[in-house]
Structures are given as C-alpha cells and as structure tokens.
Homo-oligomer: A and B are copies of this chain.
C-alpha cells in the first residue's frame, strides 16, 4: 500500500479541480452558471476505486440536468459537482476487479479525480482503439444510435432515413448504420463543413438548415418520402420533415436540442393528424433502457470502426478549465462529431 500511495502521489497533484453548478441557467447557459472549485483529492474507501479523468464528455442532455424539473433523471443540485461520462485511469484501487493503471469509463464528474464503486466502471481496452472512442462512437452516443435506429427505427433496405443533427456524435453513427442497412440517407446539419463531411461518410444527401429552405431541400432529397426520421433536434427541422412521413413511418425521438434553452414550452404546429393519415409511430428513446445490451452494440460498432465502415470525428477542448465552453459550444453547433474535454495526460 505504501508503494502504491507513493506512485499515486507522484502522478497526481494534491488538489482536485471540479466544476460545480453555481446557478441554474435561464435560457441559454453562460459560464456564470459554473464554478471551478479546488478540493483535496478524495480518498477511496473500502472496495472503492480512485479514477483520474483523462477525457470527459459534454452532451446536450446535460442542459436538462441543470433545470430544476422532474425528468427521467434527478436534476443536478446547485452547489454540487456536475456529472459527466469520463474515461480515466485507475490511480488507486481497493477492489479486486480493477488495478492501478487500468483504463475505465463511467458516469463520474466534471472533475480531475473521482472515487467510484466497481459497478460504476467499465474497463476500456486501450488496444482496441483510441480511448476517447469509449465516450463517442464506442460509448453512449454510438450505442444510442445503434439501438435507436435499429430497434426503434427499424429501417429496411430501400427506405429513406432522415437524421437531424446528423454531424453530431449520435446522428453521424445513425446515418452510417442506415447506409449500411441499404437505406437512402439524408442528414441535416448547421454548417457547410458538416454537410461536406456527411456526404463523405455515406450520407446520400445532406442539408444545411441555416442556408437552405429546409422544407424544400428535404423534399427534394427525399423523392420517395421519409420512412424513418431519427430526431435529435425538434423544432423547425422536425416540422419540415413531418409532411413527408410515409405510411407506417417510424420517428425515434432521441433529442430536442433546438428546444433545450427555451424558458417555456415553445409552440409549434399541432402535428398529430399526420400520424392518423400515415399511421406513423413516434417513440421516445433513452439509451439507459438498453443497459443490458451494451456489449452487443459495442461488439458490432467496434467491428465497423476497425473495418473502416464507421467513421467518426471528435473535437477535443484542452483543459478542465475550458469544460463549460466546450459544453456551451454544443448549442452553437459549429463543431463536428463528439465533443470532449482533455482533462489529464495518461501517466505512462
């Protein structure tokens, strides 16, 4: 134990920087809602594991946790450290399942260090690919795309699949799986650079909703209508897809990022009639419902990534001090792929 302690102290500093929610945002969050706190590095208790964060993930769902409202998960409390999916390295382990130096992922904190129970962590095999992928294409976003498209969307060869926020961590995987499934795939995104990238990774067409008349552009890109609409954004893009739904269309609802900063529930066209006309199915999805099936998805996604069938992009912001800016960038929508924060360097 002494030796391990010495190793830890050498690799670590003595303080743990972490971000607290300092106030709840009204509308669009700002850096004022976050406060960087320093405290001593926590000590793992019996059977606990101390993890040093290498990368943390910022995700749109976090906006929901900053709101004081009931949802599928508890809101974050003001004055508490915010949660994030993290990939990190075990620096001290009191549990037989994990050793110092192991790379792990889990739902931990916006923090340099965290203490976790063994059942909160999953091992990451660094030989399988860059460890950052465990937060993206081979992590929660990739698995969301996999089950959301295949289980809820049920795409069939020859069908048309439209994906909103298609250049994001989830949408880009959805579109490429739909392409492999033999579908005609159309994505919407907010910059020309994203549109170009989408076309290069298997999307048959991509639409910049800021430049184009999105309704006309989607109609033109989907001459046979829309069989699956994988919705990450809601709002006007979703309104534009709705009239194109085919009979028995499926609409997996994964996110509504265009609505997350609204201070009250926005109004939009009442659209339920279209569901009668087409007998379409609109269904919400949460990846946590598939907790028992992650390995199934990871095996397939991993194979596709190794084969080069599944491309991904990551945008890494350096330093935990810049985590709020990385998070706020999600709502600007200028960055492609998975948004990450590099928090620490591997010890080795």
Contacts and interface: CB of A to CB of B under 8 A. Distances in A.
A276 B289 contact: no
A219 to B, nearest CB: 14
A267 interface: yes
Given A279-B285, A283-B280, A273 B72 contact: no
A234 B275 CA distance: 12
A313 interface: no
Report copies per complex. 2
A224 interface: no
A285 B278 CA distance: 8
Given A72-B277, A277-B71, A277-B72, A234 B272 contact: yes
Contacts of A238: 272
A270 B273 CA distance: 14
A280 B285 CA distance: 8
Interface residues of A, number: 35
Interface stretch (A106-114, A115-123, A253-261): A253-261
B279 A269 contact: no
B276 A286 contact: yes
Contacts of A278: 72, 284
Contact of A276 (B271, B272, B279, B285): B285
Interface of A: 71-72, 231, 234-235, 238, 247, 253-256, 259, 265-286, 289
